[in-house]
Amino acid sequence: MSRTRVHNLFISLDGYAAGEYVTLDAPIGDARGLFAGFDGRVIHGIDRADADVTLDRALTTLWGQGVGAEIMGRRKFGPQTGEWPDGGWRGWWGDEPPFETPVFVMTHHPHPTLDFANGTSFRFVDGTAQEVLALAQEAAQGGDVRIGGGPTTVRQFLEADLIDFMHLAVVPITLGRGVSLWDGLAGVEERFTVESVASASGVTHQLWNRIARG
């Protein structure tokens, strides 16, 4: 059964998962502190970096295991708003986006598909969370679907009760402003079991598993 998963979602102690101001120079807005301890080199495996194998890294590597497609919000793909401008924007990630699967970018504005040699393709789709998830599950060919963020997109899928697993990394900083993951989600934890694990880095990891529907 294909699961819908969230990985490496960093949030501050006050619940903010991204900064307010996303620009070309600052893709995560003013929330850089959230990612200070994040080493993206190990999303595909602990062997991808010649460095100590810590709890933080071990959990980071879950990101790609068994994932056949990703869904992301348009603001994760780029800082533009409204109609897509000409200009050849192909995302933040250069010629080798780390996804290596189909990626569905949720947007109301049409855009041609972008294909990359490493298996990544960006497909621009309009629809509800359920509709886009159905597309992604078909593309995943039996694999799981990752909801890649940003926080607004994760919140949309949580509201629709479509998330089976979520890995949160609670970072011991306060941001005071930003995009809150939890807006409108009071009581969401009642649908999950939550395992919390403290890391030597100060980060607390939370593993949210959806209680079996029944």
- Interface residues with a second copy (CB under 8 A)? 1, 3, 5, 45-48, 50, 52-55, 58-59, 61-62, 65-67, 143-144, 165, 167, 193, 195, 197-200, 205, 207, 209
Q: Tokens 């819908």 belong to which residue?
A: 4
Residue 16 or 208: the one with the smaller Cβ distance to a second copy is: 208
CB of residue 3 to a second copy, shortest distance in Å? 8
CB of residue 205 to a second copy, shortest distance in Å? 8
CB of residue 61 to a second copy, shortest distance in Å? 6
Residue 55 or 173: the one with the smaller Cβ distance to a second copy is: 55
CB of residue 149 to a second copy, shortest distance in Å? 18
Residue 18 or 67: the one with the smaller Cβ distance to a second copy is: 67
- For the chain, the three-class secondary structure string (H helix, E strand, C coil) is CCCEEEEEEEEECCCEEECCCCCCCCCCCCCHHHHCCCCHHHCCCHHHCCCCCCHHHHHHHHHHCCEEEEEEEHHHHCCCCCCCCCCCCCCCCCCCCCCCCEEEEECCCCCCCEECCCCCEEEEECCCHHHHHHHHHHHHCCCEEEECCCHHHHHHHHHCCCCCEEEEEEECCCCCCCEECCCCCCCHHHHEEEEEEECCCCCEEEEEEECCCC
Residue 48 or 90: the one with the smaller Cβ distance to a second copy is: 48
Among 132, 195, 201, 198, residue whose Cα is nearest residue 167: 195
CB of residue 7 to a second copy, shortest distance in Å? 10
CB of residue 48 to a second copy, shortest distance in Å? 7
Residue 91 or 149: the one with the smaller Cβ distance to a second copy is: 149
The neighbouring-strand residues paired with 69 are: 145
Residue 2 or 152: the one with the smaller Cβ distance to a second copy is: 2
Rounded Cα distance between 54 and 52, Å, is 6
